[in-house]
Structures are given as structure tokens and as C-alpha cells.
Structure 1
Amino acid sequence: MSNIGGVLPVLTVPFMSDGSVDLDSIPRLVEHCVASKAHGVVIFGLASELYKLNDSERIDILKIVLAAANKRIPVIVGTEHSGTRAAVGRSVEAEKLGASALMLYPPTFVKPDEANVLSYFKAVGSAVKIPVIIQDAPAWTGVPLPVSLLSRIIKETPNVNYIKLESPPIGDKAKLLKAEGFNIIAGYGAIHLMEDLSSGIDGFMPGCGLPGIYVEINELFKSGDIEGAKKLHQSILPLLIFQLTSLDTLIEIQKLLLKKLQIFTTSYCREPHVPISAERIAYLNVLLKDIGLKELQGV
């Protein structure tokens, strides 16, 4: 399943109120995405609270996600690490377990120079046969990835041939990287989705709370109904802007939506976490009511 594209929701990891991983909710979340006709799922992205999981939990979660997907859709697995050797180990293990593709942002603890970024992605790409997605998110990582460097990476390691662009506007960079052979995935919470789709992206990674909406926008756009896609995107834009106040807010809102849908047992986020205030949750509920999302009707 090497064809990665379309709507690729980033799965949040459910926890019980005591902070333990809620393993029983994970298959329901995957099925939620499959039933919504998502084209794949991502586990261990930034919105997965990956930085709060130990290695044993990661393996348990990944096995459940893969079993729930049951090869019906691709499963993209985040395997980044601050150490190159450790990132290679995680990547090889994910491929053996059945990952369809990998996604990594560059090391962040020790800010790497271009030579170290190059050796990092070459080491991972050379160790696996599946596609590797580079996550270009300098606002989060503090590590810029210029086109000249990315061009060297894909030339020297051809299976590192996807890039997720997180710094809008992405159009100019996407065009340059397309010419270098990259497949383009858009991120940044789908706020700029219409502009991203117009720039010829191959796929995008939204939140997992309401994946069906993104599938509908994507299908409208691909069918030529640009105005219909724009109208639907504009209807949810207030929610997208609200939830991207911070990464913590984005994660918690996905969990609140999934709890409303009875997919998650709780909306608990592991510490450290800055929770949404009661006033902002009240505003969120008003926002959802005003938007009139059909997925939440009767919930």
C-alpha cells in the first residue's frame, strides 16, 4: 500500500482518566476514519501526543491500529527520534509490523546542521523499503529545511519522496519540490486547505475528530465543484482557527469531539497539558451548534 494521498487524519491517542492508554477506544477511532472514507491514517504525529508515550506504549498502540485497519487503508507511522540510530530502529520496527509509510521530522533536541539532517533521512530511508515522509514544520521544530537540502535527500535516497509542508503558504515550495520528485502532503490543521488543494497537493493530514467533512471537501474539489468545496470549508473554518490556538488545544478538541461521538471514553490529555478553560469549552459548543455539523446531530 505505497500509494499515499488523499485525506489522512492524524490519530489522537486516547487515555483513561488515570492517564493510562485507553486501548479499547483505538479500534473505534480507526473504524471511524475507515467508515468516513479516509484514505489512510497517521499514528504518532504531533497531534498524537507522541512526546508523552514510552516505547512500549508506542508498540502496543501501533499493533492495535494496524490490526484495526486490517490493510483496508494505509497506516503512516511517525518514527522520529532525537538520535539517528534510534530513529532508524523505530523505522525498521514499524516497517516489520506492517506500516505503509513512515513520517519523521528532523531531530530537535540538538539542532542539526544540513549535513546532519541529510545523514538522518538517508540513514532512515536506506534502512527501509517503504516511503518516508519528511515533516517540514520549522515553527515546531526550529529546523528549517530548504529546497536545496530536500533536493539532495530525495536524489540520494529515492524512497524519501514525500514531504508534509506545515508553513503556509506552501504553494511556491510545493511547486519546487514537485519538480524534484516529491509528493506533497499539506498540514497545519487544514486552515489553508482550499489554497493547498489549488496548489496541487497529493494529500493532507487533518484532525481525526470529524474526518468525513474533509473527505467531502476533497471529493467536491476533485470533482470540479470548487465553490461547493470552498463553501463547506468556510463553514468549518471558525472551528479550525479556534482549535489551532495551540497544539494542546487542537489535541483536546479532537478528543472532546470523539467523546461526543462515543468513540473515546474520556477527553483526557496527559501532563504536561494546558487544558481548555470552561469558558472556551462553552464557546466551542456554541461554535459547533452554529456550524450545524451533521456528524454531531443528535449527539
Structure 2
Amino acid sequence: MSLPAAPFGRVLTAMATAFADDGSVDLDATARIAAHLVKHGHDGVVVSGTTGESPTTSVEEDGQILRVVKEAVGDRASVVAGVGTNATAHSVELARQAAKLGADGLLLVTPYYNKPGQAGLLHHFRSVVEASDVPVMLYDVPGRTGTTIALETYEQAVAWPQVVAVKDAVGDYARGVRLRGLGLAVYSGDDIANLGWLAHGACGVVSVVGHVAGDATRAMVDAFDSGDHAGALSIFTRLLPAIDAVMGADNYGATTAKAALQLLGVLDNRNVRGPLVPLDDDEVAALRAGLAASHLI
């Protein structure tokens, strides 16, 4: 058995953006995160996604982040640029910039907060997709955006050649099988569901826990791909405390990813931009315990 073709790689992480103490983007440290991921099991990274705190970064900063990450990973991994916002013109501007800077793919999340209907989603997606020739991964995460992409909307979107994949955080495996039937490559967008998605035909994962568990995530994917499903389950079971620690905390995401990177020594701080706040000492202690239980630190 082998997994389906993966247009952007099999193991990707939506990587954090490093910030200096004064709140500016720390480009050197951001490049260091990318290099760390590629060294540890990744064949793709996503910049300026949710974990990259994209709602707080400017167009100029997003371009700088993409540039330094491309330089850091070279040809060792694909670099997918997050271009999704809740303003179509803003997303079009980001897509054009990402194409100019050589992004290997675009991550296009459903517009958040303003909750457009399906006709609005199609208008938004079409506008961004047609802004460049770069392949697009749609991102369906209704828990954050308030809107789910309907199957009928996917059926129309797949007619555009650039739309090749979806990062799914809806959590409906049967729906994901139907998306595969439309010709889309499906990526797990939720670490707790990674193994389940592989069993339902996903081609890979877009992780957050991969910041600290890249090698183990790669081993799990490779084991499943080779037909060693018991081995994949064993690895996933070992990762559960880490997944709970990184993704199960009230204050999770970029906050836990950066604290994990600090525990590994990749970063020397865990700075985030408001409205997020860094993990406090008790939260870091809980995170450390979860990572230790999974034998990651």
C-alpha cells in the first residue's frame, strides 16, 4: 500500500513566526525554525498561517518571512505561503507577492469572521486563485472561521487547475473521502486526527506538533505508507501526550509551538503578538511534561 500523491510533500508544519522582544519579526530566528523543521523529517513548511500569527503580520512582513524561509530550506522542502485573510483584495495582494517570491504553493483559508455564504466563498477563492499560477491548498477550519466549505463549492473550485489540495480541519473522514473523489489531495489539518486521516486516504499532514515531533511524525507517515499500520499506531500512541500538551491547552497554537521550540533550544524566547500572550511558567511546565511523556525532550 502507498499513500496518494502529495503535491506539497507528506510532512509539513504550519510554522511559527519568531518575534524579537520589541515585537518585530525576527527573521534570523524564523529562518532557524524552518531549518530545524527540514532537518527533522519535514519535506514542506507553511509560512504565515494561523500558527505563524498571520492576522498580526503585514504584507511586507509576510514577504520578508517567505523570502528568508525560502533561502533557509532551498530545494530541500516545498514552501507554502499562507495568503488567506478576510478581505479578498488583501488575499489577492498576498498571492501575487508570494508568486513573485517563488512560493511553491498557496494556503488559502476560508475568510474568517465575516462568514460569507458559499457564493461569497467561490468569489473569494476564484479571485485569489486567478491572481497567479501557483498551486493552491484550500484550508477548511470552521472552528476558527465560522464557515464550512460545502461539497458543492469544492465541486466548482476543482475546475480551476491551480486548486489541487485541501487542508482539512473539519474532522469528517467520510467527507474527506468524497473530497478525494473530486480529485483533491487531502492533508490532515489536525494533529489528533493525523493517523485517522492517513487511513482515510490523506496524502500527508500539516502539523503544529511537528515543531517538536517532526522525526516521529515522519516515522509514523512512513510506517503507514509501507503498510506497517501497527507500527504507525504505536508511534501515534506515543505522541498522544505531546499532542495533548501542544494542542489541548486553553492557550495553544503559536504559544505552545514557540514554548516547545524554546524548550528545544531553537528559540531563545516565546514571544507572541497580541491578542495572544506567551505561556506562563505553569503552562510551560505542563507542556514540558507532555513532551517528556512522548520522549521528545
Which TM-score applies when normalising by structure 2? 0.92
The answer for the alignment partner of 1:178 in structure 2 is 180
The answer for the alignment partner of 2:3 in structure 1 is none
Letter in 1 for 2:178: L
Equivalent in 67, 72, 75 of residue 71 of structure 2: 67
Equivalent in 34, 40, 44 of residue 44 of structure 2: 40
Kept after mapping to 1: 8 A contact 2:110/2:141: no
Kept after mapping to 2: 8 A contact 1:38/1:211: yes
Equivalent in 113, 119, 128 of residue 117 of structure 2: 113
Shift of 1:185: 1.0
User: Whole-Å Cα distance in 1 between the matches of residues 290 and 227 of structure 2?
Assistant: 29
Question: Is 1:160–2:163 an aligned residue pair?
Answer: yes
Kept after mapping to 1: 8 A contact 2:245/2:290: no
User: Whole-Å Cα distance in 1 between the matches of residues 242 and 41 of structure 2?
Assistant: 21
Total equivalences in the alignment: 290
Q: Percent of aligned positions with the same letter in both sequences?
A: 27
The answer for the alignment partner of 1:193 in structure 2 is 194
Letter in 2 for 1:139: G
Give the secondary-structure state (helix, strand or coil) at the position aligned to 1:24.
helix
> After alignment, is 281-290 or 27-36 more displaced?
281-290
User: Whole-Å Cα distance in 2 between the matches of residues 201 and 244 of structure 1?
Assistant: 21
Shift of 1:286: 2.5
User: Whole-Å Cα distance in 1 between the matches of residues 84 and 203 of structure 2?
Assistant: 22
Correspondence 1:107-256 to 2 at 5 A:
107-155=111-159, 157-168=160-171, 170-188=172-190, 190-207=191-208, 208-245=211-248, 248-256=251-259
User: Whole-Å Cα distance in 2 between the matches of residues 12 and 199 of structure 1?
Assistant: 28
The answer for the alignment partner of 1:49 in structure 2 is 53
Give the secondary-structure state (helix, strand or coil) at the position aligned to 2:51.
helix
The answer for the alignment partner of 1:12 in structure 2 is 16
User: Whole-Å Cα distance in 1 between the matches of residues 113 and 74 of structure 2?
Assistant: 35
User: Whole-Å Cα distance in 2 between the matches of residues 43 and 249 of structure 1?
Assistant: 18
Kept after mapping to 2: 8 A contact 1:209/1:255: no
Kept after mapping to 1: 8 A contact 2:110/2:145: yes
Kept after mapping to 2: 8 A contact 1:249/1:275: no
Shift of 1:85: 2.3
Taking a change above 3 Å as real, the CA distance of residues 278 and 266 of structure 1, as seen in their structure-2 partners, is closer
* Structure 1 residues 212-257: Cα deviation after superposition (integer angstroms, max 9, x where no partner): 1211111111112111111111111122123223584222221122
Taking a change above 3 Å as real, the CA distance of residues 242 and 257 of structure 1, as seen in their structure-2 partners, is closer
Kept after mapping to 2: 8 A contact 1:80/1:106: yes
Shift of 1:73: 1.3
Give the secondary-structure state (helix, strand or coil) at the position aligned to 2:26.
coil
* Structure 1 residues 161-188: Cα deviation after superposition (integer angstroms, max 9, x where no partner): 21111021x3211111111111111112
Equivalent in 256, 263, 273 of residue 260 of structure 1: 263
> After alignment, is 56-65 or 244-253 more displaced?
244-253
Kept after mapping to 1: 8 A contact 2:223/2:232: yes
Shift of 1:29: 1.3
Question: Which sections of structure 1, spanning at least 5 residues, go unmatched?
Answer: none
* Structure 1 residues 242-282: Cα deviation after superposition (integer angstroms, max 9, x where no partner): 32235842222211221122211211111212443433322
Shift of 1:110: 2.3
Would you identify which runs of 4 or more consecutive aligned residues in structure 1 move more than 4 Å?
A: none
